[in-house]
Amino acid sequence: MDHATLIGIDLGKHHFHLHGQDRNGKAVFRKKLGRKQMVEFFATCDVCTVVMEACAGAHHMARKLASFGHNVKLISPQFVRPFVKSNKNDFVDAEAICEAASRPAMRFVTPKTESQQTLSVLHRVRESLVRDRTRTINQMHGFLLEFGVSLPVGKTGIARLSELLNMHALPPRLIAVLERIHEHFKYLQAQIGEIDRELARQLADDDVGQRLMSIPGVGPITASALAAEMGDGAQYRCSRDFAASVGLVPRQYSTGGRFNLLGISRRGDRHLRSLLILCARSYLRGLEKRSGRLAEWARDDDAAPFKRRGVCAGQ
């Protein structure tokens, strides 16, 4: 146990399965520990390399174990799966994590800081609130349409709901229900606005976020999401590597010397990818008024086939 140089952890909610290997890859120990027991174990054991899958709770545990002096690495679960031998259980998963980590060409996930995780939480909450607001708007549109009242598309008509209700003879009970839903809509609107202001306040003190906002088309929401997911970007060799990590480069299916590029792969963070696509659309919307190398490239007809396939994301 004292000679373990690599320890793989299969994370759980209450129990954790550990697999230790020496420098030759020989199994040294297997342990099943509770959360408190595992922290005590790593606080007293010799410094080694600790590897976990990048899943729920992994970033917090990585920061905790790194504070004890261990070299902590996170691996994407999709890269661990091919190393699972035969039947699957928690100890086999921990062993597979060690096997994956020992590959010289393995790619690892950079552990997030507390600030990055907090930003990610804010974005998830905002995304959920926006989804609820859209559902509430659609519900009010549907209810009114059942009674022959057609509102303008989007939030425009909902904002004037009280005025519109007075213009139509609707059942009192329906009006009461719509007013209750409208109050919920205003609550969601206020919460989204508060989160937007909180994100703007955090960006004001973040040098990385300010630099990201200097990118054409990138606003506070996208800049904070990028700062939360990529940090300082030191883990990426070039911009195309980052584009590939969020699924904005073409999926490749090449064989026999014939190269075939398909559509964007859509891997990685769907929310971040959608924000980046919206940024690109906002930039292209006013393209005729823009100047510079990026605007010239976007207006270039020769690059149009590559833009449609998503290659522009890696530029």
**CATH top class, domain 6-101:** alpha beta
Q: Which residues contact 130 (CB under 8 A, 6 or more apart)?
A: 192
- pLDDT value at position 306? 45
Beta-sheet pairing, 49-53 with 6-10: parallel
Per-residue pLDDT of the chain (315 residues; tens, 9 = 90+): 457 889 999 998 889 999 999 888 888 889 899 999 999 999 988 889 999 998 888 899 999 999 999 999 999 888 888 888 878 888 988 999 998 988 888 888 888 888 888 888 888 899 999 999 999 988 888 888 888 877 777 776 676 677 677 677 778 888 888 888 888 989 999 999 999 888 888 887 778 878 888 888 888 888 888 888 776 677 778 888 888 888 878 887 888 878 887 877 777 778 888 888 888 888 888 788 888 888 888 877 544 544 544 444 443
Residue with tokens 């140089």: 5
Query: What whole-number distance in Å separates Cα of residue 132 and Cα of residue 116?
Result: 25
Query: What whole-number distance in Å separates Cα of residue 7 and Cα of residue 42?
Result: 10
Closest listed residue to residue 18, CA positions, set 2, 4, 7, 28 = 7
Contact predicate 59/111, CB 8 Å: yes
